[in-house]
Amino acid sequence: MKVIEYKAEFQKELQNLANKNKKIGFVPTMGALHKGHISLIQKSSSENDITVVSIFVNPTQFNDKNDLKNYPRFIDKDIELLKNKGCDFVFTPSVKEIYPEQDDRIFDFGDLDKVMEGKHRQGHFNGVAQVVSKLFDIVKPNIAYFGKKDFQQYVIIKKMVNMLNMPIQIKACPIVRENDGLAMSSRNILLTAEQRKNASFISNTLFKARNLTNQFSVKELKDWVINTINANPFLNVEYFDIVDDVELKSINDWQKKNNKVGCIAVKVGKNRLIDNVNFNL
């Protein structure tokens, strides 16, 4: 496994692989790695000749400077964790390497980035598109892997790849959960012991909600989820919506044949956790 910081050096390595027709899988991360990330790496390793992992905390996707400042960073621990996990290259660029000059590109995703996360984190997905498109230009992967926990991000990155005519397949991999159901996230380590204990109530409520679709209308079920979670004094729902999995439009009728995804963001103290479950009937 090679760890490379500089773009020029990294691209030289990748060009040698391209000349040998090696199939490249790519897992972009912001570090603070956990079993969810490892599952993406192992999936890539099983489907490609070479697997590349990037570790880069992207400043342009944070609308809250304190969130950027407090985002967990454990680069040495991350690199150690990646050994013997099927990773061939770790790309660890500085901000200056990725943004030698300011990126002023504005992406038009229609309504995809104006709901849920986009509504509550202004400019977030434009920043995601900036960094992911730059990383794709550097790595030139055949396949890129993303976790379904960030479902809206996955939909938007697929849209971006189509908009930019990038010959890259985007694959979504299942959410990896802790034993109590909490979706694995780099932010989980920021929770106090009591917050962590109560955070599992989010996923447990979503799982229960899937069994109540024959008792409640869509609106009634949304209200039930929000009220149930908000009744826990450690939790505060920022949003909960049930949307189709292509255009992310709110579902109002269980009988519609779209694939339905229930997406949620919850504040746990100063931390913010997201999760989602399928409501396919």
Domain 2-173 has CATH 3.40.50.720: no
Mean pLDDT of 262-275: 97
Q: Which pLDDT band holds residue 65 (cuts at 50, 70, 90)?
A: confident
pLDDT of residue 221: 98
Where do the structural domains in the chain lie, given as residue ranges? 2-173, 186-278
Q: Which pLDDT band holds residue 258 (cuts at 50, 70, 90)?
A: confident
pLDDT of residue 70: 86
CATH code of the domain made up of 186-278: 3.30.1300.10
* pLDDT tens digit sequence for 197-224: 999 999 999 999 999 999 999 999 999 9
171 HSE (CA, 13 A, CB side): 17
Asked if residue 64 has pLDDT above 90, the reply is: no
* pLDDT tens digit sequence for 86-119: 999 999 999 999 999 999 999 999 999 999 999 9
Asked if residue 157 has pLDDT above 70, the reply is: yes
Q: What is the mean pLDDT of the chain?
A: 96
Same fold yes or no, 2-173 and 186-278: no
Mean pLDDT of 223-237: 98
- CB pairs under 8 A, 24+ apart, for 255-264? 261/151, 262/206, 262/209, 262/210, 262/225, 263/116, 263/151, 263/152, 263/239, 264/202, 264/206, 264/225, 264/229, 264/237, 264/239, 264/240
pLDDT of residue 257: 84
pLDDT of residue 281: 62
Which position has the higher pLDDT, 176 or 65?
Answer: 176
Residues classed as catalytic: 37
